[in-house]
Amino acid sequence: MGLAITAPDQGPALYSRLRRRLFPYALITPSVAVIGGILAFPLGMLIWISLQHYGLRELINHQGEWVGLGNYQKILVDPLFHAVIVRSLAFTFTCVSLTVALSTLIALLLLKVRRAVRVLVMSALVFVWATPVVVTVDIWQWMFDYEFGIINYLLTQLHLGNFIHHNWFDNPVQGFAVIVAIVVWYSIPFVTITLFAALLQMPSDVEDAARVDGAGSWRRFWYITAPILKPIFLIVICLSTIWNFGIFNQIYILLNQRPSSDYFTIAIYSYRESFGVTQYGLGAAIAVVMVIVLVIVTLFYVRETVKVAEIS
Amino acid sequence: MIAPGTAQGIRTRTEREAVSAGLSVNVWRRVSQLVYDGVGIAVAVVMLFPIYWMVITAFKPGRDILTLQPKWFPAPFTLDNFKDAIARPFFLDDVRNSVIVVAVMLALALVVAFLAAVGTARFGFRGRTAFLVMIIGVQMVPLNALIIPLYMLLDSAGQIDALPGVIAIYLAVVLPFMIWTLRGFVANIPVELEESAMIDGCTRVGAFFRITFPLVGPGLVATAIFGFIQAWNEYIIAYVLLSSPNNQTLTVWLASFTTNHGPEWGPLMAAATLTGLPVVAFFLLLQRYLAGGLTAGAVKG
């Protein structure tokens, strides 16, 4: 009897239940299509191309020639590639440590300054953050101009040496010092604002207790603030590592789109191999190595985050 | 007379010490406050100086730019550099391209991201966690590494040197962050608000568009600012994919400025100022909505 009553309703009810269950999938389908098609699929394609000989002829025919791990073997014995890897790692380490150290100091300083100064510093940070990379590189190129640059003038005026007509890019070490300055200056706003936001949300009672117990400011930072902020530090370090290891724009534009091999970092090397000398397969293999290094860094970060989550 | 060591004696002595200590603490506090403020101002000056130098160089006449003794202010003031920059070939074409790319990308991104944000914030479904993990995961992939396959993909689709390809790539780049942020905003709006509107006679869709949609406004603005900055500032994808000068975006035009004409710093700084201006303007215009978005999250409780 009950069955007879519910039976006629079964069709539409089932239909509307099905529709309700499919509705959220309909909502995420466009994003999955875009992200999958334009980020995930090319990532797979990158690996595929890296296993082939893929030059200009292959590009025109849309058909590569399978070489297995040949491209990887080639780059692994290439001394230039070794130099590039070491340079990229050293560059990343320098930039990330300088950025995080300076940003932490500025974020802590922001807690101490009066309101007006805080607004001033925050506005300055936002201004720098919103400026396009290409614009910032042009500015710094002008400031470091060998003939009329303000930096050479200031350094000479401050009696730090004779910097008249000093070309910073003749010597790669000095050139990289300039690039590190540009990158750190441009990275500070994001890291500082993130750390400052985290500091504001920190419970003050633990720190107060430590203060009552007589802990100095350095100890309070090291034993209380830093551990509480550890997850934020990990995120910031991880993201900075990803951005700096794949550095391209600053170096490429600063050196007028013709960097010498002394200035190759991994992204520039990969770009040169593929679009400069049309060895797309080799370029792809270099890019895969770049992704692998970053995955290792990211995995370390994920593991540390999980650890932190387990403790708290 | 109070003998030292009695309770009274100890009290007066500690009081006296406390007063003098309080005074010196006060002075100390003032001095350190001054030092902190001074360092803060120095930080702001160092951060802003390059931007200041760009803007005043842009307003200087040529003979004041190329001097061994730099001028700190644009004393004779000129707009010639701006006129020069605007008159350069392809400037207006490339401004138009940048505007088209950013506008179309943002319109699409806001719709697509909003749908996904509602889907993941309002509904539980199988695969939701996988979707969210993907959203976080793809943000870790460096775009620089994907240039080769993206180039080939668009090459086989016949979209090299055309704006749609660039728009599609920017869309994919900004989507993960936008979805993640908007999801937070949608999740912060209690479903009860929608339900009570439905009791008052709204349809489900009507309740959504009358209640939730306006409340997500600040979130849409915040993510729009993010997307705008990302797309307007992007260089390498546009540089690789857009080869003919009249199809390029403003950042590519700006980067080719020196190589094509030699370093003419005045016009270059004027062009750089013009390129940076829309981002700052957009940010300042919408900033109050951003602040509103933060408080809206707090009021809900």
How far is the alpha carbon of B2 from chain A, nearest alpha carbon, in Å? 32
Token pair for B236 = 């390498």
Band the pLDDT of B13: cuts 50, 70, 90.
Answer: low
User: Of the segments A111-120, A217-226, A227-236, which one has the largest average pLDDT value?
Assistant: A111-120
Mean pLDDT for B162-167 is: 94
CB-based contact (8 Å) between B166 and chain A? Answer: no
What pLDDT digit, counting tens, does each position of A53-64 carry?
A: 988 888 888 888
Does B149 lie in the same domain as B293? Answer: yes
**CA–CA dist A186, A243 (Å, integer):** 12
**Residue B158 above 90 pLDDT?**
no
Q: How far apart are the first and last CA of chain B?
A: 62
| Separation in Å, CA A191 to CA A139, A241, A308, B82, B178 | 22, 12, 20, 34, 19
Q: Look at A207 and B104; give whichever has higher pLDDT.
A: B104
Tell me if A63 is assigned to some domain.
no
Sign of CA dihedral A228, A231, A234, A236: negative
What pLDDT digit, counting tens, does each position of B208-253 carry?
A: 888 888 888 888 888 888 899 889 999 999 999 998 989 999 999 9
What pLDDT digit, counting tens, does each position of A114-142 carry?
A: 999 999 999 899 889 888 999 999 999 99
Does B287 lie in the same domain as B164? Answer: yes
Mean pLDDT for A156-161 is: 88
Tell me if B6 is assigned to some domain.
no
Tell me if B70 is assigned to some domain.
no
Collect all residues of chain A within an 8 Å Cβ-Cβ radius of residue B147: 271, 274-275, 287
Of all residues in chain A, the one with the smallest CA distance to B251 is A134
Q: Is A42 exposed, middle or buried (0-12, 13-18, 19+ CB in 10 A)?
A: buried
Q: Which of A81, A71, A76 is nearest to A279 (CA)?
A: A71
Tell me if B65 is assigned to some domain.
no
Q: Look at A46 and B257; give whichever has higher pLDDT.
A: A46
**Residue B140 above 90 pLDDT?**
no
Mean model confidence pLDDT for chain A: 87
**CA–CA dist B257, B233 (Å, integer):** 16
pLDDT at B293: 45
Of all residues in chain A, the one with the smallest CA distance to B47 is A124
pLDDT at B298: 35
How far is the alpha carbon of B127 from chain A, nearest alpha carbon, in Å? 9
Does B272 lie in the same domain as B179? Answer: yes
Does B194 lie in the same domain as B121? Answer: yes
Does A12 lie in the same domain as A88? Answer: no
- Cβ density class B273-283: b for 16+ within 10 Å, e for less: bbbbebbbebb
State the helix-helix crossing angle for B213-233 and B250-261, rounded to 10 degrees: 20
Does B138 lie in the same domain as B212? Answer: yes
Task: Identify the domain containing residue A28 by its residue range.
Answer: 2-50
Token pair for A1 = 């009897």
CB B163 within 8 A of CB B93: no
Q: How many domains does chain B have?
A: 2
Least reliable range by pLDDT among A9-23, B71-85, B264-278: A9-23
CB-based contact (8 Å) between B156 and chain A? Answer: yes
Band the pLDDT of B14: cuts 50, 70, 90.
Answer: low
Size of interface A-B (CB pairs under 8 A): 259
Token pair for B223 = 């993510």
pLDDT at B258: 67
CATH number at residue A168: 1.10.3720.10
**CA–CA dist A41, A49 (Å, integer):** 12
Does B142 lie in the same domain as B32? Answer: no
pLDDT at B134: 84
What pLDDT digit, counting tens, does each position of A71-98 carry?
A: 999 999 999 999 999 999 999 999 999 9
**CA–CA dist A46, B30 (Å, integer):** 60
What pLDDT digit, counting tens, does each position of B30-76 carry?
A: 999 999 999 999 999 999 999 999 999 999 998 888 887 888 888 88
Q: How many domains does chain A have?
A: 2
ipTM value for the complex: 0.85
Q: Do A148 and B40 touch (CB under 8 A)?
A: no
Residue A248 CB neighbour total at 10 angstroms: 21
Q: Is B111 exposed, middle or buried (0-12, 13-18, 19+ CB in 10 A)?
A: exposed
pTM for this predicted structure: 0.85
Band the pLDDT of B19: cuts 50, 70, 90.
Answer: low
| Separation in Å, CA B69 to CA A148, A215, B55, B188, B223 | 8, 51, 18, 57, 45
pLDDT at B26: 85
Collect all residues of chain A within an 8 Å Cβ-Cβ radius of residue B118: 27
Strand, helix or coil for residue A256: coil
**CA–CA dist A220, A199 (Å, integer):** 13
Tell me if B71 is assigned to some domain.
no
Token pair for A309 = 């989550």
**CA–CA dist B19, B14 (Å, integer):** 9
- Cβ density class B191-223: b for 16+ within 10 Å, e for less: eeebeebeeeebeeeebbeebbeebbebbbbbb
pLDDT at A300: 79
Tell me if B122 is assigned to some domain.
yes
% of chain B surpassing 90 pLDDT:
37
Sign of CA dihedral A98, A103, A108, A113: positive
Tell me if B66 is assigned to some domain.
no
Q: Which of residues 141-180 of A touch B (CB under 8 A)?
A: 141-143, 145, 147-148, 150, 153, 164
